[in-house]
Structure 1
Amino acid sequence: MPESRFKVRWPDGSEAICYSPSSIVKSYFELDRDYELADFVTRSQTALNIASDRVRAKYGRGCGLALGQLAQIEAKALEFNSQPQSLVRVLEFIE
């Protein structure tokens, strides 16, 4: 399973590098595309849970780093819930 990182820009202009233990995130995100906040969170939940499950299948336990990253994404997203039309842009995949 190749690790993958993806760089995003949050609605406030801040940027973050997010971690996945699998390149599955490339199936859920496109580069230079804006995602509505809820859609970004849903896609992150799906991709990172699949990635964690792949680690579980191979090593017998889920990936704490993937689930931790998901928790960080969900927490950051809460900051923008009250802002209509909040967009998250996927900027880059880092391998």
Structure 2
Amino acid sequence: MPVMHFHVRWPDASETRCYSPSSVVQEFFAPGERYALEEFLQRTRQALGMASERVRARYGFACSQAMDQLTEIERIAARFTGIADAEVTVVAVD
């Protein structure tokens, strides 16, 4: 499975390099696109959930690293909950 990374910029201009065990993230994120915080979280949950299931289908176990990444993303996003019009920008997908 091709490991992918997606780089995001948070509302405070900090950036995070995020891991995915599958290229499925390309179906959910486009470089340069901005997403409302909740939409970004929904897309991330779907993308990393699908990526983890692809690992399960191939190797017989889910990808704990993908779920750890989701936990980290949700932890960071919690800092911006309640901020009106908070957006996350996908800087790159590689």
Do these two structures clear the TM 0.5 threshold for a shared fold by scoring above it? Answer: yes
- List 4+ stretches of structure 1 deviating above 4 A: none
With the length of structure 1 as denominator, give the TM-score of the two structures.
0.96
- Show the counterpart of 1:81: 81
Write out per-residue CA displacement over residues 36-84 of structure 1, whole angstroms, 9 at most, x where no aligned residue: 0000000000000000000011111100110000001111111000101
- Show the counterpart of 1:40: 40
CA distance in 1, matches of 2:3, 2:64: 14
CA distance in 1, matches of 2:78, 2:6: 20
With the length of structure 2 as denominator, give the TM-score of the two structures.
0.97
- Structure 1, unmatched stretches of 5+, are none
AA aligned to 2:12 is: D
- Show the counterpart of 2:68: 68
CA distance in 2, matches of 1:44, 1:27: 11
- Show the counterpart of 1:57: 57
CA distance in 1, matches of 2:37, 2:53: 24
- Structure 2, unmatched stretches of 5+, are none
**1:24 alignment partner, SS class:** helix
**Residue 7 (structure 1) shift:** 0.5
**Residue 5 (structure 1) shift:** 0.3
- Show the counterpart of 1:22: 22
AA aligned to 1:82 is: G
CA distance in 2, matches of 1:93, 1:30: 7
RMSD: 0.6
**Residue 93 (structure 1) shift:** 1.4
